Amino acid sequence: MTVRKQTVLIIDADILVKLCQPDYYKAWMFKALFEDPWNKVVIPEIATKEWKLSKDKKFTEFHDQIINPLEKAKKISSTFRSLKERKNFEDSLNKLIKFRKREFYYTFGRKFEFIDYRINRDLVTQPQLTTRSKSIIADLALNKERPFFCSADLKNNDEKFEVKDAYGFFSAIDYAKSLRKNDENIDIYFITEKTENYSDFSNKSKLHENLAPYFEELNIQYSINLKGILLKLNPLIDSSEKDEMMQANKYLQDQYFIDCKNKDCDGEVHLKVDCYWGNFGFWFAECPKCKYEWRTNDRIEDDYN
């Protein structure tokens, strides 16, 4: 039996966002990345800054992609001649919208919160760029060296100045150098899907020729396939999600929710997720929408979990 060893996975900013994007990555991939004790997730500091700037906008964007088409569908109700048919249609649609909102928040929305929590509490390594690497990047920018920089020309009408990705790349280099001083054998991967800024123009799975020597020197493996890496590291991982999705859908039913007690809020509270043990042996609830808290008057023996 092969004994696994710790693997360092350096994650680019685009991967963080896509981990929270509905129907992009499978749920098992999120769990495998963050919950596997053999995986050490590393996020360059510049990537965490990008995350903090974009996460709220992306949350709203992903939410609206799911909910807005359903809200627009309400207009169809005006085509029904029968008031009963119209009401039945609107009731069914409202139930679907409520369920989809719950599904979005308690699956994808929770992923946003999980990543944000780990970044803000420094539970993931966030390497900074060294002064030497800043100098290298300045020289690359000055000389318009690809793939991060280039001048406008006939083939490429727009000037390219991807300094953030250059910062992320060389932050990975600096961190890998520090690791190699203590462990020559540890496996290090750099994972991204920004092929336009990192990859060879003719082969997206291959690192650009101007960047390859940096990775070859430190034996860093370049990948644009998160799923493939996770399965390679743990071939025995359970990637089946049928039972998990059935269980998740069960806990999105009405019996697991109560309305927020804040009269100015229309949010819901999940009895198994948004409640916690408080003082004097009682359960307390916190609305995820407005953050209002109250005692439910249920005792701890009335098990919510």
pLDDT in tens, 251-298: 899 999 999 999 999 999 999 899 988 777 788 999 999 999 999 876
User: What pLDDT, on the 0 to 100 scale, is given for residue 182?
Assistant: 86
DSSP secondary structure letters along 13-68? HHHHHHHTSTTTS-HHHHHHHHH-TTEEEE--HHHHHHHHHHHHHHHHHHHHHHHH
In sequence order, what are the residues at sequence separation of 6 or more whose Cβ sits closer than 8 angstroms to the Cβ of residue 257?
102, 268, 269, 270, 271
pLDDT at position 192 over 50: yes
User: What pLDDT, on the 0 to 100 scale, is given for residue 185?
Assistant: 85
pLDDT at position 244 over 80: no
pLDDT in tens, 95-108: 999 999 999 999 89
User: What pLDDT, on the 0 to 100 scale, is given for residue 119?
Assistant: 96
**CB-based contact 258:295 (threshold 8 Å):** no
pLDDT in tens, 48-68: 999 999 999 999 999 999 999
Q: What is the domain partition of the chain in residue ranges?
A: 1-252, 254-299
User: What pLDDT, on the 0 to 100 scale, is given for residue 266?
Assistant: 92
| 154 pLDDT tier (thresholds 50, 70, 90) | very low
pLDDT at position 300 over 50: no
In this structure, which amino acid lies at residue 254?
D
Query: Is the pLDDT higher at 1 or at 173?
Result: 173
**CB-based contact 28:107 (threshold 8 Å):** no
pLDDT in tens, 79-95: 888 889 889 999 999 99
pLDDT at position 1 over 80: no
